[in-house]
Structure 1
Amino acid sequence: MIYRKEDMGLQAMADWLSTSYGLIELVIAGLCVLAGMWVSRKVFQRWFTGQPERLEHFLPYVGYRMVLPLSAQVLVVLCSVIWVLVLGHRAHVLQVISAMLFWMTVIRVLAALLRQALPRGRFEQRTEQMVAMLCWMAFVAWAGNLDDYVLDGLQSITFRVGKTQLDLLMVLTALLWISVIVLGALSLSRAIEKRLMQLSELDENLRLVLAKLTRTLLVVSAVLIALPVLGIDLTVLSVFGGAVGVGLGLGLQKIASNYISGFIILLDRSIRIGDRLMIDNRVGYVSKITSRYVVLKGLDGSEALVPNDTLIANTVINQSYSDKKIWTSISVTVAYDTDLDMALGLLRGIARHPRIAVDPAPNAYLVNFGDSSITLELGYWVLDPENGFLGLKSELLLAIWRCFKENGITMPYPQREVRIVNAREPVVDSD
């Protein structure tokens, strides 16, 4: 179907909607849109109900978003053909609705590309809404024959940058091209990153390095492609490179240090995702490694952003560098009349737990002879420290309590005997 501007003006639409044929076309177009909505709902129920994670991938998401406009447009085009062949009239209203559906398809593809390129969050949602609004404004301006006036107005606003005279239309066109090329590079880099992270045969740190290098190279290549398209000489990059060098020397060296340190950490594999680190008396697990910082998630759920150069320049205790098992112990006290051999054996038996390592096996020790009790200690290696220690410790203490009660082993509490020396007799008042 060929869309002509003269058939889509606001005045032409008003004229056609004032006739009975125009109203019939509008009703037919509305039924086609409702049918498209029905098809879209059926597709969602068939492919995405119970599996919403499919929408997180680019191709299923953009495919689902295109079902409504494409299916409705197919029906509108078929109705337009039937309208022309049967009645012999031109389908003006159906042609406008078809153009709107086509533009909706374009907008949804652009929104999907933005969703792929930008990180999830409010910024991505607002950017998607803003782009959709601008696209619809451009369509209304085109359909209403207002685009020529807008372009002439933008060209009339001129200014000079040195010896070069620019107008607002050139600036907006340059920004549009740069945005499209850079967003395309970011979308491609995110798709490549997802594919790389699924390659389980590669080391996780190597996958992260390749993903970050791919993103950096694609963004740099996008800028190098965009500049010649806009007519900007690449020799200006020499001046920009000198400015960046001065900036690195004056205040950006910390950023450069963190960036380079991030690649060093990933390449030497000293720190990996899931490692348990102790940094400045803070213990947590590495949940994310970026080019500037490492996210350390504490046992209480809080997350600390540790700069990469801190991990390079300072001493970091990696409690899971070669083995993620963590040793811990529980202290208990027993009375002096306790059979210690039996108590130690009971402690070893209690430590048989799915979360406790068999090799090295748990063991029990006699630690100290106290004032009123003997201190024993049960030591064991935890296989999954990322799941915490409090629940396991509670289960073991309850098992020790029950087992000791069944075998007549008492846990004494401190006892003190107080004697009053040279106590005086109470004075009795004779009155």
Structure 2
Amino acid sequence: MLIYHRDTLTLNILLGALETKAGLVELAIGLFCVFVGWHVARYVYRRWFATHPGRFDLFLPYLLFRLVLPMSSQVLVILSTVVWVLLLGRSGIVLPIMSAMLFWFGAIRVLTAVVRQVLPQGKLERHSEHVLATTLWIGFISWAIGFDHFVLDWLDSVAFTVGKTRLSLLTMISTLMWVSVIMICSLWVSKLAEARVMKLQQVDLNLRIVITKLLRTVLVVVGVLVALPVLGVDLSVLSVFGGALGVGLGFGLQKIASNYVSGFIILLDRSIRVGDRLMVDNRVGYVSKLTSRYVVLKGLDGSEALVPNDTLISNTVLNQSYSDKAMWASISIQVGYSTDLDVALGILAEAAKAHPRVMKNPGPGAYVTAFAESGISLDLGFWVADPENGFMGLKSDLYLAIWRRFKQEGIEIPFPQREVRILADGLQPDPSMVASAIALQAAAAASREVRT
């Protein structure tokens, strides 16, 4: 027969079947089917995922890939069982058991894929996936060999009474399991809805973030309200919990509540958006993420600061890209007093106009800023449309272009110089004065070498 009742799927029957020649042949056929399924999964991986690893981040492609091995193996096992029982007239025991195991294997992979989709990527995701798979396999084996009756009876016997309610270990585990399942389903649905909402490009980004946060909160609350009555918990206990939460907010959670409220205010009034350049407490960076509790500010050196939302509401924040992300920058340079300033200013403006990152409207400008001690100070100012790409490379390109043009035009960039004259007037010079003069000449020579 192809299907066995649960009471027949015992360890003794399986071990007894494996002691026969037919049982070993069934086991070999089943293992061969799993081997073929593994090769099919390996081919699918090389064909569709090895060259496109980003597909693993998508839920449906990842789930289909995880089901290739159990589904292909089970199809082969079912066909082998049909041939073994109907055509050869043998009694199939091992092959139906392996088919049930492969079906459970596929169900486990579906559940773990959902958990992977809900949880954030990292160690928590991997550990949770492994723990869930191990727990489900242990439960299946216990069910298959009839050991679950003993486990359930023992868990129900470990109990205590709270008022008129009897709480057993089985009840608490069932409660935790159902709440976890409902919460995971709620988070999964909210994540799918979030992905759909974030694709609505015609809606403002901050509004999309607000919608996703509110949707996730509503789904989690609804999930809890659905889980509690299913488990027989009276919803009137939530009034006690609400009172305790109010006391907690009054005594120690004001800052946390303030951060959450401030987060929704920032998202709704759109004062700060993802990609804005902010200066908070002398730290300059770009907003890379907005959450309901903090803002991630990524500095120019790659470091990320988590700024509480309350700080952005209560303090003055310099948003350098509030209405326009274009920024003004400048570089300074000196030329000698014998330089034709019109030519030098033209070279500075032409160097800026030739650079692709410098905005053409408004265009760059070159200015005389001071008559300094060693030369005339010039400033080149310009607007940059993509300040998120940094300024060091841009300024280096401009300095090199100006340097090359100055060499072509013979324009000198001055450096500090000192002249020392010793007037003897027929007298022998003081040795200390001679030493000082030599020291000054050495310092001037060293200065010239450094500038060169």
The two structures share one fold, judged by TM-score above 0.5? yes
The alignment's TM-score, normalised by the length of structure 1, stands at: 0.96
Question: Aligned to 2:208, what secondary structure does the other structure show?
Answer: helix
Large movers: runs of 4+ above 3 Å: 419-427
Which 5+ residue runs of structure 2 have no aligned equivalent?
Answer: 432-452
Aligned equivalents of 1:227 and 1:298: distance in 2? 45
1:178-203, CA deviations, whole angstroms, 9 ceiling, x for partnerless residues? Answer: 00000110111111111111111111
How far is the alpha carbon of 1:145 from its aligned partner? 1.2
Question: Aligned to 2:296, what secondary structure does the other structure show?
Answer: strand
Structure 1 contact 363–379 (Cα < 8 Å) conserved: yes
**Alignment RMSD (CA, Å):** 1.4
1:262-306, CA deviations, whole angstroms, 9 ceiling, x for partnerless residues? Answer: 111111111000000001110000000111000000000110000
Task: Name the counterpart of 1:359.
Answer: 361
How far is the alpha carbon of 1:64 from its aligned partner? 1.1
- 1:263 aligned onto 2:264: yes
Task: Name the counterpart of 1:128.
Answer: 129
Which 5+ residue runs of structure 1 have no aligned equivalent?
Answer: none
- Matches for 1:176-325 after TM superposition, within 5 Å: 176-325=177-326
Aligned equivalents of 2:428 and 2:161: distance in 1? 107
Aligned equivalents of 2:9 and 2:287: distance in 1? 58
Structure 1 contact 155–168 (Cα < 8 Å) conserved: yes
The one of 411, 414, 417 equivalent to 2:413 is 411
Structure 1 contact 367–376 (Cα < 8 Å) conserved: yes
1:327-354, CA deviations, whole angstroms, 9 ceiling, x for partnerless residues? Answer: 1101000000000001001110000211
1:97-130, CA deviations, whole angstroms, 9 ceiling, x for partnerless residues? Answer: 1111011111101101111111111011111111
Aligned equivalents of 2:423 and 2:266: distance in 1? 70
1:396-415, CA deviations, whole angstroms, 9 ceiling, x for partnerless residues? Answer: 11111101000110001111
Q: 1:3 to 1:65 in 2, by over 3 A?
A: farther
Aligned equivalents of 1:250 and 1:372: distance in 2? 65
Structure 1 contact 3–99 (Cα < 8 Å) conserved: no
Structure 1 contact 295–304 (Cα < 8 Å) conserved: yes
1:326-384, CA deviations, whole angstroms, 9 ceiling, x for partnerless residues? Answer: 11101000000000001001110000211111111001000100112000010001111
Aligned equivalents of 1:223 and 1:383: distance in 2? 48
How far is the alpha carbon of 1:89 from its aligned partner? 1.9
1:42-95, CA deviations, whole angstroms, 9 ceiling, x for partnerless residues? Answer: 322333232221221111111111111011111111111111112212211101
Question: Aligned to 2:252, what secondary structure does the other structure show?
Answer: helix
Task: Name the counterpart of 2:404.
Answer: 402
| Equivalent residues, number | 427
Task: Name the counterpart of 2:437.
Answer: none
Question: Aligned to 1:351, what secondary structure does the other structure show?
Answer: helix
The alignment's TM-score, normalised by the length of structure 2, stands at: 0.92
How far is the alpha carbon of 1:3 from its aligned partner? 4.2
1:162-185, CA deviations, whole angstroms, 9 ceiling, x for partnerless residues? Answer: 331111101100000000000110
Aligned equivalents of 1:290 and 1:110: distance in 2? 28
How far is the alpha carbon of 1:6 from its aligned partner? 3.5
How far is the alpha carbon of 1:4 from its aligned partner? 2.5
Task: Name the counterpart of 1:162.
Answer: 163
